[in-house]
Amino acid sequence: MKEIKPIKIKKDMKVSELVEGMRDMGFGAGNIYRASEIMKKMFDDKECLVFFGVAGAMVPSGMKQVILDLLDKTGVFVTTGANLTHDLIEALGNKHYQIEGEINDSELREKGFDRMYNVLMENSVYEKLEDFFRANADEIKKCKDIKEFLWKLGELSPGEGILKKCYEKKIPIFCPSIADSGIGLMMWGLKTSDKEISIDAFEDMKEIIDLSWTAKKTGVIYVGGGVPKNFIQQSLQFSKGADYGIQITTDRQEPGGSSGAPLKEGISWGKMKKDADFVDVFCDATIALPLIYAGIK
């Protein structure tokens, strides 16, 4: 039990000072500090393998660089097909856009923009994506599991991004729901003309389970829940349970889904150690993750 001390905002205050000031606050602010402290611990612990799971349209919202920076510290990456599709779309030279004020979706449809809350993307980006897949079909068809396929996309990608970095740094990247994405649609396109393409849905499970099984200690960072969180959690059942944990989600626990389940629920499953160091952060990840990460820079 520590005394609450009011935070004082100063001119030219550093983000690290702001987060430090949140140490003595309650409610969400205290949890931001705590997440930053735990992130530092898991990154500093040489025995700890960090599993980083990212759901939600993080790339379109401008979180790509934060993810790239965190990939230098984390050992395993799991994300959604959507994030990787948007990553590839940007690597191919396309942009995402911010909008404000009243939204008219019918008008956006006519103008050729796809909306994700207050972010837009031109629907025409799919053309470049198709060109990329067609041009690289011969290389792609050699891939036999999803991780290999994603690394291949990173190798072939002409621009910087998550796929490129995971390939170059040999970061194990998993995306069990890859069919559920623009990339999935492209693969469906290739397969209609080439029956030989075959990427196994279960093959790379061995690798993430091995990583979990052999790690001395494990840490988890879950952004937004979804398949990335759940896929890491199920792999962690083959570990001794995570030693460190950070979860950033705005989902509720009451409707019973994995995305809103607090980390402590994982103790019952053996996904989290009972005396692990962990915190649930209830906050939009585009606000919380930059803050938490800045707190350890």
Q: Which residues are catalytic?
A: 271
Binding of its own copies by 265 (CB under 8 A): yes
Among the residue ranges 23-31, 38-46, 129-137, 163-171, the one whose residues contact its own copies (CB under 8 A): 23-31
> In whole angstroms, how far apart are CA 22 and each of 105, 213, 231, 291?
40, 36, 32, 11
Identity of residue 217: K
**Dihedral sign, Cα of residue 58, residue 258, residue 271, residue 247:** positive
Among the listed residues 16, 72, 131, 135, the single contact to its own copies using CB under 8 A: 16
Tell me whether residue 3 or residue 47 sits nearer to its own copies (CB atom).
3
49, 140, 146, 166: which one binds its own copies (CB under 8 A): 146
Which listed range, 6-14, 38-46, 151-159, 163-171, lies at the site for its own copies (CB under 8 A)? 6-14
Site for its own copies in 184-213 (CB under 8 A): 184-185, 187-188, 191-192, 197-203, 205-206, 209
When asked if residue 73 is in the footprint of its own copies (CB under 8 A), the reply is no
Give the one residue of 44, 72, 93, 97 binding its own copies; rule: CB under 8 A.
Answer: 97
| CA 102 distance to own-chain centroid | 29
Q: How many other C-beta atoms are found inside a 10 Å radius of the C-beta of residue 216?
A: 12
Residue 134 identity (one-letter amino acid): R
Applying the rule CB under 8 A, the residues between 222 and 251 that interact with its own copies are: 224, 226-227, 230-231, 234, 250-251
Tell me if 22 contacts its own copies by CB under 8 A.
yes
C-beta of 132: minimal distance to its own copies in Å?
17
Exposed, middle or buried, 237 (CB in 10 Å: 0-12/13-18/19+)? middle
According to the binding rule CB under 8 A, does residue 142 interact with its own copies? no
Q: Which of 84, 76, 47 is nearest to 178 (CA)?
A: 84
Number of residues that bind its own copies (CB under 8 A): 122
> Is residue 7 at the binding interface for its own copies, with CB under 8 A as the rule?
yes
Site string for its own copies, 34-53 (x = CB under 8 A): x-------------------
Q: Which two three-digit tokens encode residue 228?
A: 């990335």
Nearest to 222 by CA among 257, 265, 260, 179: 260
Distance CA 215, CA 201 (A): 24
Q: What angle do CA 215, 221, 225 make, to 5 degrees?
A: 120
Q: Are strands 272-281 and 119-122 parallel, antiparallel or unpaired?
A: unpaired
159 lies in the site for its own copies, by CB under 8 A = no
The reply to whether 117 sits near its own copies by the rule CB under 8 A is: yes
How many Å apart are CA 278 and CA 38, to the nearest integer? 7
The backbone region for 256, taken as left when phi is positive above 0, alpha when psi lies in -120 to 50, beta otherwise, is left
Site pattern 77..96 for its own copies (x: CB under 8 A): -----x------------xx
6 near its own copies, judged by CB under 8 A: yes
The whole-angstrom separation of Cα 183 and Cα 153 is 10
Residue selected from 40, 41, 73, 115 as contacting its own copies according to rule CB under 8 A? 115
When asked if residue 267 is in the footprint of its own copies (CB under 8 A), the reply is: yes
Q: Give the shortest CB-275-to-its own copies separation in angstroms.
A: 9
